[in-house]
Structure formats: structure tokens, C-alpha cells
Amino acid sequence: MKTAILCSGGDCAGMNPAIKYYVEASLAAGDTPHFVHRGFEGLIDGDIRKVSYADVAGIVARGGTIIRSARSERFKDPAARATAAANLTSHEITGLLVLGGDGSNRGLELLCREHQLRGIGIPATIDNDVTGSDYCLGVDSALNAIGRCLDQIRDTAASFRRAFVVETMGRESGYLALVSAISSGAEICLIPEIPFDLDAIVARMRREFEGGREYAIAVVSEATQASARLVSRLREEIGIESRLTILGHIQRGGSPTAFDRRTAFEFADAAVDALRDISRTASFLGYQGASITEHPPGAPVSPLPETLMERGQRLAN
Ligand code: F6P
């Protein structure tokens, strides 16, 4: 059987190990794996090639994705999806594996439904916000990258009397910010899932600085759009020197952690099995309760468990 893999949306550490294990598991099963370069954009353009073990040698420790990714506006057009399906058919490819987020899953589902292809999605985004999975590939690596930055910021913050506001990624999700705040011992955390009260935070910080606090660290999700506001309120209302650090794309790069490499292996193994099952159309893999699961489209699962939410409430007020 001939199958293909592509990466879509924001890249993340863990994609390369997943690509490697997909190729190895496919070849071991007697299938013929292919790469689609540049996500759905490359699929529309026919940027597809057959691959072998040599193509994935030495990539397991590399961040990003060797097959590159894209955010494809064109794929929203049914005519472009028809071209993409024809490109797969011209290589006799009947199954497609997509690494990406919810948007990528939606694209895969449409493609499979309209053109009778088999598809399987692996949740892969540092935002950890894919429906039906409480863990996405790349999240552990991003958390470790953010954690290293926060430890370094603490060194300089502790050398002055200052407040540091550190903005993390997460387009609509506060998972990275909240878990990073908890695991780095931050004093404040703002995420979109928990209502926050800047008046209460400023009052708390004033009390604490007056009571002898020397420095403070706030972790703020980009989705709140509140980091600049928090910096100026701390500076102007408490009179404490305050600095803003936007971590940006540094969070997405770097070598995948052991956990992301292991999860990539489990996801890729399950994906190759799923693509071999001719009774399926599109379905999506998830990671729930430390196991790989499979579910139909829909079925939301919260990546923010109660224990984290409780701690988050205290950091947001
Ligand atoms: O991949 C997810 C993500 O990193 C979000 O956290 C962030 O908002 C967005 O992608 C950034 O997108 P881009 O890399 O296109 O600037």
C-alpha cells in the first residue's frame, strides 16, 4: 500500500521523530511511504516523493520538520482539494498522515470525505489545543524551552528589584503559560481560560513589594493580549521597574525531549496501523490518560485539568 505524510501549520519539535518512525514502520509493514513537502500547499502543487530509510537517518534529534510546513489558504477551495487528491492518485497513494492542529485535521477530513481517501491526523502543535487529545506532540519540548528561559530570566530578575512579564505563545490557549508558570514558580499567570483581575494583581504585588519582595515574574499567554498592560500597570502604579520579554518562536524550536520522541513513536506506529485499515476514512489520534486513543471528529477534551485550573485561579488574582 502507498501512503504519504505531511506537516501543516506551526511546526514543533517531535515532528521529525514522527516522520522517521512513520517511514520505518511503513517500510517494516511492506508499505511504500512518501513525503509531501510544504504541507497542503505542496500537496496542491504535487510536491510528493517516495522515500526510504536513508531519507530519515539522523533526524530524530532535530527540531522543526525536514519536510517543511505551511499554512494553506488555497486548501480551503474545493477545486484545490480536488487537485491535491488527483496528485495523490497519480502516485497511487491511498492513505495520508497529517501532523498538525485542528485546522489541519479539518482540511484532512474534507479531503478524505470528498475524494474517498484514507486519512489519519496526529495532534502536533505547541498550543496543546487539538480536539480529542489532552496532549499534542511538541508540547513537552516547548515547555522545556520556556522553562529554560524562565530560569534564566529569574537569574537576572533576582539581581535587581524588578518585575518581569514573560509572554508565551498560544494563539487561543493558555496551556503553555499556565504549566510554565506553575513549573517555574511564577508569581502571576494570565491565560484566556481563567478570568483575571489586574486590579487585584497590582494590589497583591504592592503589598508584597512593600512587605519585602525583591522581584516578581509573571507569565502571560499571548492570547490574553495583556502583557504590555500588565507591565505598565506594575511600573506606574507600584513604581517597580518592569520589563517585558516576548519569547516568540524560540519556544517552537530546539531538539525534541525524550517524551516527545517516545510519543512520536507511539503516534506514528498507531497511524501506520490506522492507514492500513481499509474500512476507515478520516480519523484522528489523541493522547488521553497516558495512552494513544482514536476518536471521530468532535469529542472535545479539556487539556487543562482541575488541578491546574485551581492553581491558575490563585495566580490570576
Ligand atoms: O503553532 C502554533 C503557534 O506557534 C501559536 O502559538 C502562535 O500564535 C502561532 O503559531 C504563530 O504563528 P506563525 O509561526 O505563523 O507566526
Pocket of ligand 1 (CB under 6 A): 9-10, 125-127, 169-171, 222, 252
Q: Report the DSSP pairing between strands 162-168 and 118-123.
A: unpaired
In sequence order, the 6+-apart residues with CB closer than 8 A to the CB of 126 are 10, 12, 136, 138, 139, 141, 142, 169, 170, 176, 251, 252
The stretch 112-129 carries a mean pLDDT of: 96
Q: How far is the CA of 148 from the centre of ligand 1 (A)?
A: 20
Per-residue pLDDT band at 297 (split at 50, 70, 90): low
Q: What is the pLDDT of residue 313?
A: 85
Q: How far is the CA of 171 from the centre of ligand 1 (A)?
A: 6
Angle between helices 102-115 and 78-90 in degrees, nearest 10: 70
Nearest residue CA, atom 3 of ligand 1? 10
Q: How far is the CA of 252 from the centre of ligand 1 (A)?
A: 9
Per-residue pLDDT band at 292 (split at 50, 70, 90): confident
Q: Is 127 tagged catalytic?
A: yes
31, 127, 129, 134: the active-site residue: 127
Per-residue pLDDT band at 295 (split at 50, 70, 90): confident
The stretch 266-290 carries a mean pLDDT of: 89
Q: How far apart are CA 182 and CA 4, in angstroms?
A: 39
* pTM summary value: 0.93
The preferred substitution site among 12, 65, 127, 221 for testing ligand 1, maximizing ligand atoms within 8 Å of CB, is 127
The stretch 107-129 carries a mean pLDDT of: 96
- From the CA of 252, give the closest atom in ligand 1: 4
- Write out pLDDT tens, residues 179-210: 999 999 999 999 999 999 999 999 999 999 99
Neighbours of 233 (CB within 10 A): 19
Nearest residue CA, atom 4 of ligand 1? 10
Q: How far apart are CA 196 and CA 189, in angstroms?
A: 9
Q: How far is the CA of 72 from the centre of ligand 1 (A)?
A: 14
The stretch 104-112 carries a mean pLDDT of: 97
Q: What is the pLDDT of residue 311?
A: 73
- Write out pLDDT tens, residues 47-98: 999 999 999 999 999 999 999 999 999 999 999 999 999 999 999 999 999 9
Mean pLDDT of the chain: 94
Residue 254 contacts residue 63 (beta carbons within 8 Å): yes
Statement: residue 298 has pLDDT above 70? no
- Write out pLDDT tens, residues 126-156: 999 999 999 999 999 999 999 999 999 999 9
- From the CA of 223, give the closest atom in ligand 1: 8
Statement: residue 257 has pLDDT above 80? yes
Nearest residue CA, atom 2 of ligand 1? 10
The preferred substitution site among 73, 126, 128 for testing ligand 1, maximizing ligand atoms within 8 Å of CB, is 126
Per-residue pLDDT band at 280 (split at 50, 70, 90): confident
Nearest residue CA, atom 7 of ligand 1? 171
Q: How far apart are CA 180 and CA 137, in angstroms?
A: 17
For the chain, what is the radius of gyration of the CA atoms? 22
Which residues in 130-161 are b (16+ Cβ under 10 Å) and which e?
Answer: bbbbbbbbbbbbbbbbbeebbeebbeebeeee
Q: What is the pLDDT of residue 70?
A: 98
Q: What is the pLDDT of residue 302?
A: 62
Q: How far is the CA of 116 from the centre of ligand 1 (A)?
A: 31
Nearest residue CA, atom 12 of ligand 1? 10
